[in-house]
Amino acid sequence: MRRSIATLLLTGALIPQAALADTAALDVAAPFEIKGADPVLSGDIFLKMDVMETLVNADSSGALLPGLADGWTVSADKLVWKFHIRQGVQFHDGSALTAEAAAFALNRSKAKEGILAKAPINAITAEGTDVVITLSEPFAALPAFLAEYRTGILAPSAYAADGSVTAVIGTGAFRVTKLEPPMTLEAERFDAYWGGAAKVPAVHYTSATRAETRALMAEAGDAELVVNLDPASVTRLQSVADVTVHSVAMPRVLLLKLNTALPFFDTVEERQALSLAIDRAGLAQAVLRYPAAASQLLPPAVGGWHNAALPPLDHDPEAAKAAFAAAGWLPGADGILEKDGQRFTVELLTYPDRPELPLTAAVLEQLFREVGIAVTINATNSSEIPAKHAAGTLQMALFARNFGLVPDPVGTFMQDYAPGGDWGAMGWENDAFTAAVRKMAAEGGSDAEKSALAATLQAELPVLPIAWYQQTAAVSHSVKGIIIDPYERTYGLKSAEFAE
């Protein structure tokens, strides 16, 4: 299962020895840092590591399934939902999962501006074995919201008096024994797990932000599962005999976010011109190393949200120059566009957690320079994107947005574009679009209605789609049963086992 960690020293990134020392553990390496014990901060990691669960689950196609709630109903007026709590479930501290405990956790999440704060919820209470959620208006997307990681259920003992989370005490197949943000999570098998005891005795998570470090961990056998590989690592690991590289399409999109309140991007024509400057096919092949150019916001796999009738986003730098000129942007002495005495110079914010982002930013800098735009790249913490959005100082940002965190993408659209959230459109409002998204969240929507919303985003381009992601992961032949989930909810650890 494990041979040597000496090769890790070549990268200059020291991984804690404790995170790699236990040969009985199944080790996972990923680029994402653990930000704290609260599910609102790091629930995505806790969910994938099978230490925490949600009331509602979802399969690999995004279809909703029972989770800690084994069923749910809604009243005739669509205002009262009842989620029946699965009986016989224990938290890791030995206490029983009850409707009261689940309601307590959900209320804490809602108070912390988790995703439930986006839903029209009047009250979350317990009634016998049911969690009862009372709404101010119909909201058909509620079960999908309860599958999102920020609604993870922890035991009452996990919370301090002020509502802060002091420990990860969940109901999953593994019980946390060590949590050392930002790098390390260790957990042991929880034999009282309601779904049956896991087959491996322990699991470890290590945050290794450098792609080459993670690749070396896979190659050396220091991690049985390594996720989010960069293209160079994929090529390298495909020649390693005892590792298999997997890739699955997923509803994650590489996006360029624009502050449409700025004079650079405040018209549709300017945003369309900027889009024409982007060589999506060449960029995807060169940086991501697979043909994943985004012809529109969401890929074909995301149901009715992909509108096959839309003309694809094109690359035509000469047309981009002409469109900018028509909008009043003309080249100055050094070739940089100018208008009314203002130079077209912008900051592009991104972050290195995903190795493809700085590379993509560098390519975009060159593509935009060809049409007369000067870009300064600022690779910093991902938290700077929502912070600068809130402050109104963000100009452009390059990031990856997962439209599958809520299994129904309408949940993400509500956060980002109706009218806007700090990871979505900035300075862009469309009242008809907002009303349509909210109606769909309340009542559900047809594929035709979803396609119409996709057409609006394609026409107005409040954000510029660049590429559709594939999830790439290296799995050691020493384990079997690992799942590469396109919705990134699970690694399959509770059913994985070491090979004979």
In tens, the pLDDT along 299-322 reads 887 878 899 999 999 999 999 999
Distance CA 294, CA 464 (A): 9
Residue predicted with more confidence, 294 or 14:
294
| pLDDT band at 290; cut points 50, 70, 90 | confident
What are the helix (H) ranges across 84-132?
Answer: 99-111
Would you give the distance in Å from CA 168 to the centre of its chain? 21
Please name the residues in contact with 411: beta carbons below 8 A apart, sequence gap of 6 or more. Answer: 115, 118, 141, 144, 145, 148, 405, 441
The predicted structure's pLDDT at residue 19: 39
pLDDT at 38 over 50: yes
How distant, in Å, are the alpha carbons of 65, 208, 233, 315, 374 from that of 174? 21, 21, 30, 49, 50
What are the helix (H) ranges across 139-283?
Answer: 142-145, 211-220, 231-237, 268-276, 280-283
Mean of the per-residue pLDDT values for the chain?
A: 92
How distant, in Å, are the alpha carbons of 51, 56, 87, 180, 196 from that of 91? 10, 17, 12, 21, 14
Asked if residues 434 and 426 have their Cβ atoms less than 8 Å apart, the reply is no
pLDDT at 6 over 60: no
Residue predicted with more confidence, 118 or 147:
147
pLDDT at 13 over 50: no
Asked if residues 51 and 175 have their Cβ atoms less than 8 Å apart, the reply is yes
pLDDT at 224 over 60: yes
* CA-based nearest residue to 121, from 146, 99, 100: 146
Query: Dihedral angle at the C-alpha atoms of 500, 228, 223, 237, nearest 10 degrees?
Result: 70
Residue predicted with more confidence, 303 or 117:
117
| pLDDT band at 326; cut points 50, 70, 90 | very high
| pLDDT band at 45; cut points 50, 70, 90 | very high
Q: Supply the pTM of this predicted model.
A: 0.79
Neighbours of 317 (CB within 10 A): 17
Question: In this structure, is the dihedral angle defined by the CA atoms of residues 36, 37, 40 and 46, taken in order, positive or negative?
Answer: positive
Determine the average pLDDT of the residues in 240-244: 95
Please name the residues in contact with 308: beta carbons below 8 A apart, sequence gap of 6 or more. Answer: 300
| pLDDT band at 404; cut points 50, 70, 90 | confident
The predicted structure's pLDDT at residue 23: 56
pLDDT at 395 over 50: yes
Asked if residues 324 and 496 have their Cβ atoms less than 8 Å apart, the reply is no
Backbone angles phi, psi at 285, to 5 degrees: -70, -40
**Residue 149, SS3?**
helix
397 sits in which H/E element: strand 396-402
Determine the average pLDDT of the residues in 413-436: 89
